[in-house]
Structures are given as C-alpha cells and as structure tokens.
Amino acid sequence: MDWLITLLQGIGYVFLHPLFYIGFFTMLLIGVARVKRERSDFHTKVYDFLDETVISLLPGIITGLVISIVAIGLGIVVSIELLIAITVIYLLAIATTQVRWISPFFVIPIAVFGMLLFAFKPWTISVPLFGNFSFEFSESLLVYTVIIMALLLIGEGVLVRTNGHKNTSPKYLKSKRGMLVGAHESKRLWFVPVFLLLPNGLLPSVDFWPVLTIGEQGTYSIILVPFLVGFHQLIKSSMPVPFIQKTGNRIILLGVFVGLVSVGAYFYTYLAFVAASLALAGKEILWIRMRQQDERKTEHFTPQTSGVMILGIIPRSPAAKMQLRVGEVIVKVNGQRVNDQLQFYDALQKNSAFCKLEVKDEDGEIRFAQTALYDGEHHQLGVLLLKAEYELQNSVV
C-alpha cells in the first residue's frame, strides 16, 4: 500500500502548484475576452465564457495520462530544481499574454538553455521551510528533459488536431482592400497533468517493463506536474476545421522528429540542445508559415453574389436544430431570395410561426431546412452573417 500512498501524495501535489490555479484563471480570462469581443461584433455571445475550459479539460487530462505512461515506462526522472525553473518560465510566458507561448515548446527549451548556463556556474538558493535548492543539472537530467519535451510536443499536436477546431469563434475583420470579411479564431489553453518521477521516493518496480536507465538507480516518488499547452490560430482563407487539423498534423511530425533527436541525446548529449532549438524554432517557423499561407489566399467568408454565407451558429438555437453549418450559403428564406442581412430579416418576418430555408452547402448542393418558430424566436434564428456596409441594431438573425 506504500506505493498507493505515494501516488495519492503525488496527485495532491498538483493542488499545491501555482500553475494549477493560474492556468485555470488564464483559461477563464481567455473566455471572458472572447465573449466581450463577440458581443462587440454580433451584439451577443456565441459560446459561454467557460466553453474553452470545459471542452479542453478532458482531452488535456487524457493526453497527460498517456504521456505519463510513456514517461514512467521510460524511467524519466526530474528534479525539483527543474520543475521550479519550468514554473518560473511558464509565469513569464503567461505575463506576455501570448497564448501560443504558454506551451512546452517555448518553456522547456528555455529551461534547457538555462541548464547550459548553470553547467558553468552552479547556483544554490536557500528557501525558509523548504531548504536549499541547487541548480546544478546533470547530463542525464538534460536528456530526460528534452524527451519529455518531445512527448509534450506530440501531445500538443494531437490536442490541436482533435480538439483545437471545436467551437472556433467567428469574428469580423477588414480585408486588405478595406472590405468587411469574416474569420474564425481558435484560442485554447489545455491543462495537461503529467506524472513524473522524483528521486528518493517510493515506486514499485516491475522487472519486465522497459526502462531507460541513466545514472544511479534508487527509489523514486511520483509527482503530478501541471503543464499548460497554449494554441492560437486565426483562419480567414478556409473553413477552420481542415486548416487547424493540418496544423495539428505538422506539430505531430515536428514532435516525432524532435523526439528522434532527443533519443540521440542519450548517446551524444549535445543533441539535447539541438532538440530544444528544433522545438523552439520549428514551432515558431510552423506558426509563421501557416499564418503566411492564410494571408496569401483569398478570404473565405466574404459577401456573396447570391445568398448570405453563415459565419457562425449559436448553440441550442433554431439554426442549430436545423443543422445549419458554418460556411453554407442561405439562398432563400420563406421562398424569397436574400443577398444581405436586411433582406434575410425581412423575409424571416413574413412568417413569424414558421421558417423554411433553401441552403447551398460547401459542395454546391441545394438542401432545404425548416423549423417552427415560437414567440421571441422570430428575430433570433441563431445564425451569424456578415454585416453589410450599413450597421444593424442586432447582427444576429
């Protein structure tokens, strides 16, 4: 039962870690800022301010558990000093307000470069009640650090691909020609708790489990470390789902490549610094290239020559019940052709009890959607359309 007590103690550590509370507070701030911007654009919120936290929580935890199994299986051991350094860098990243920098690809490489400095000049600090902390890092710890960095980078790619495209937020932008166009934004912060080993604790050993052994063997304690994984992408040139999934795929490939280099650091320690550089520079280059690719192409959400394009759907609205989708074009409302929001609203008023839409999907196929409207719903169908050049009192129809 000693190992179970050790495991529970390790889980309890996460509730003492400042990143646990600061991370969730940052998630809430992201949601509040999004709702404020949506109200400015559409005079209503699209998703609740807790949406980012709710939809990202379970995927992040599952990703952390998978990484934990691999990390403990490989026998990856960290030090308290490393965790302190990572926490400090995380806090600095959060202070920049750049969500995409609140991520292991940014935080851990800086910690690795710091290890290089401490290799020349070790540093010891004394903290009351906690004792002395010696920032003098070994080669084995350096290797372990870049391996966990690679695992987290792969995990980030998986999260982006599977979860980053959910509930993207519609917004208005000005094109290079000064036209009002639509876009979708994904700004997500995942909480990824990972079990790691600390020396001088207790962990049951399993003889048949493959373990990467570097340095002296001993007993270990297990600790649950909260990692934060940030992601931010603005999409103007296409539908958000395939674009974000493509980004996720590329992050996974980058993570695999960094992982191979990190394994090489087991034999040649200097490759650890190469792996850290690849993670930091590679992720930034990938972000810049995806942004440039989006900028070069024509905007996707633009005024149509015939019909009005759906920029967003409010959850649990009549539009959601009719299974209308972002990117579809509404050609007719109650038998009347529409080309802007005012025409859409006027056509909707012709029948306050029933709504029939003629919709053109992304493949150009025409389909029909209809629903009954009830008191108070006739002006709140729940579709978000591009504004015309004139302002409306309410952008939601």
Tokens of 227: 């990692």
Tokens of 286: 């990938």
How far apart, in whole angstroms, are the C-alpha atoms of residue 381 and residue 394?
12
Q: What is the mean pLDDT of residues 2-31?
A: 79
The predicted structure's pLDDT at residue 375: 54
> 371 with 322: CB under 8 angstroms?
yes
d(CA 42, CA 180): 13
Count of CB atoms situated within 10 Å of the CB of 217: 11
Coil, helix or strand for 345? helix
Contact 261, 192 (CB under 8 A): no
Q: What percent of the chain has pLDDT over 90?
A: 48
> What confidence category does residue 82 fall into, taking pLDDT thresholds of 50, 70 and 90?
confident
Q: Are 107 and 93 in contact (CB under 8 A)?
A: yes
With beta carbons less than 8 A apart as the criterion, state whether 110 and 88 touch.
no
User: What confidence tier does 186 reach under pLDDT thresholds 50, 70, 90?
Assistant: very high
pLDDT tens, position by position, 113-161: 888 776 555 556 555 444 555 556 678 888 999 999 999 999 999 999 9
Which string of DSSP letters, residue by residue, matches 118-132?
HHHS-EEEEETTTEE
Residue 121 pLDDT: 59
User: What 3-state DSSP class applies to 157?
Assistant: helix
Q: What percent of the chain has pLDDT over 70?
A: 83
H or E element, residue 7? helix 2-13
Inform me whether the pLDDT recorded for 269 exceeds 90: no
Residue tagged 């998978």 (tokens):
66
Beta bridge partners of 86: none
Residue 145 corresponds to which tokens in the numbers above? 């650090």
* pLDDT for the residue numbered 208: 36
Identify the weakest region by mean pLDDT among 18-32, 78-92, 343-357: 343-357
- pLDDT attached to residue 34: 94
Most confident by average pLDDT, 120-129, 159-168, 357-366: 159-168
Whether pLDDT at 110 is above 60: yes
pLDDT of residue 64: 96
pTM listed for this prediction: 0.86
CA proximity to 374, closest of 358, 354, 345, 357: 354
Q: What is the pLDDT of residues 208-266, one digit of tens each?
A: 333 334 344 557 778 899 999 999 999 999 999 999 999 999 999 999 999 999 999 98
C-beta separation of 186 from 212 below 8 A = no
The residue that leads in pLDDT, 109 or 221, is 109
Average confidence (pLDDT) over 165-184: 88
Region at 366 (left for phi over 0; alpha for psi -120 to 50; beta for the rest): beta
- Whether residue 153 contacts residue 255, with contact meaning beta carbons closer than 8 Å, is answered with yes
- Give the Cα separation of 331 and 378 in Å (integer): 18
Q: What is the pLDDT of residue 201?
A: 45
Q: What is the pLDDT of residue 207?
A: 42
How far is Cα 183 from Cα 169, in angstroms, rounded to an integer? Answer: 8
* Confidence band, pLDDT 50/70/90 cuts, at residue 373: confident
Summarize the confidence of residues 312-329 as an average pLDDT: 90
Q: Exposed, middle or buried: residue 323 (CB in 10 Å: 0-12, 13-18, 19+)?
A: exposed
pLDDT (0 to 100) of residue 119 = 58
What pLDDT, on the 0 to 100 scale, is given for residue 100? 93
pLDDT at position 381 is: 83
Rounded mean pLDDT of the chain?
A: 84
Q: Quickly state the pLDDT bin for 2 (edges 50, 70, 90).
A: low
pLDDT tier for residue 286 given thresholds of 50, 70 and 90: very high
Segment 66-81 mean pLDDT? 90
- Both tokens assigned to 346: 């006027």
Report the distance separating Cα 58 and Cα 39, nearest Å. 28
- Identity of residue 294: D
Tokens encoding 113: 């470069």
CA–CA distance, 362 with 101 (Å, rounded to integer): 34
Burial class (CB in 10 A: 0-12, 13-18, 19+), 142: buried
